[in-house]
Structure 1
Amino acid sequence: MDLSQILSNWLPQAIVSVFSSLAEAGAEVQARVKPLVAVVNAPETEIEHARNGGLLLTLSDHVVLLVDTAEELPNLPDNCVMVQRPYTSDTLTRALVTLDAARC
C-alpha cells in the first residue's frame, strides 16, 4: 500500500516523510525541515527509547508509528498515534483524524 497516496487523501498539499526507523527519522529531521507527517516503522523498544529521549516530540506535529502489535504504550505524546499492521487506508486516515483532534 502506497503511504504517500493514502496520506495525500488526508491532506493533498502535504509533504509526507516515511521512515524505516526512528533513528533514520531523527537524523533526517535534524538535517531538514520538520515534515507535516512522519510515518515510522517502529518496534516497541525503539518507541520507548525515542519517547524517553524526546525524539517523538521533535519529529513532526503528526507522527504515525507503524507497529506489529496493538499493545498500548503508556504516555505517548499527543502528536503520536500507533497503527497496527496490516493497516488499510481507512485505518491510517482515522489515525490522522485522531491526531488532529488531539492537537486542538
Structure 2
Amino acid sequence: MVELQAAGEPVAPCCPPLTERPLTAEESERTAKMFKALGDPVRLRLFSLVASHEGGEACVCDISDVGVSQPTVSHHLKKLKEAGLLASERRGTWVYYRVEPSVLAAMGQLLALPTTA
C-alpha cells in the first residue's frame, strides 16, 4: 500500500502500485493532486531542490533562486504543501521545508513495475 501525506496530516494509506489494480475514484483524486502539483516546472524544481538538499531540508532562503519572484516561490511551495509533498517548519524569520522519506517511497511504489519471480 502506498502512503501519501495530506497537507498538515500524518502520512495515510493511498494507493497500490498502478500495475496491481485500477485506482478508486478517491485514490485517483489524491494521486492526481500530487502529480498536478509536480506538473509545473518551477514546482518540480523546488521539490527537487528540497529533496536533494543536504540534511534533507532546505531553508526557503536557499531555494528561492529559481527564476521567479519570491511571492511566486511562496505560492508554489504552498501548492506543494497542499498536495502533501512538502512539510514545513518556521524557525525565526525563515521557513524550512522537507520532503518526508515516506512520500518519496510512496511515489516510487506507486510507479513500480511488478517484480518477476
- TM-score, normalised to structure 2's length? 0.30
Greater relative CO (CA pairs within 8 A, separation 6+):
2
Structure index of larger Rg:
2
